[in-house]
Amino acid sequence: MVAIKLSESGRRVVEAAERLAATLGNDPNHTVAAAAMDTAGRIHEAVNVYHFTGGPCAELVALGVAATAGAGPLVTIAAAGDRGRGLIPPCGRCRQALLDLHPDVQVAVPTDDGPALRPIRELLPDTYFFPDADARRIVRFDKHDYEAVATARKTSTVRHDETIGPGPAIFFFEDDEAHRTLDGTVTGVERRRLDDGSTVDQLTFTVEAPE
């Protein structure tokens, strides 16, 4: 399973979830907090609503809060428990909802080496994917790639363990406070087999000129 070191933006999301969780006190109806970041860098926070009929988890409430704010696709999400329980991974229902609605989100999870990010697909392998979710896709880049991508000097990228197909996408530049995103289109995907037997995808793409 792929573990991704926390970026600065990922750390902000984890800290927001833990900070909100610390305010919950001993209320048995609200015991978990969640925070999610959109492609504009905004963080949307929420808490769970416990009820014997099956009240929503904090992550699902956060999805609704983000949608209310017109957030679009989310790039990172984290949840934390009350009474000092710290970072907690999502339940199965939340994993399925995240995969369907935000298939490129990275989820903060606790590990022996501290918080790490995992692609949502890694948390729910070999799963059913709801075909009508119509989720807009995200292609992530390092912030140092912005100029090359924006000026079309970089028009391809190699990806491991991702399932992005041809079509429109948001190109998200991690921790780039000045630019953050470009609108683009993945024009082709070529799968290549490496010498060790693993495979990578070579994505070709175009971008819309930044305003």
- What residues are labeled active site? 59
3-state secondary structure of 162: coil
Q: Which of 105, 102, 100, 162 lies closest to 131 in space, CA to CA?
A: 100
The identity of residue 169, as a single letter, is A
Q: Which of 191, 181, 136, 185 lies closest to 159 in space, CA to CA?
A: 191
105: CB partners within 8 A, 6+ apart: 36, 73, 74, 75, 76, 77, 98, 119, 120
Helix ranges, the chain (H): 8-21, 58-68, 92-101, 120-123, 146-150
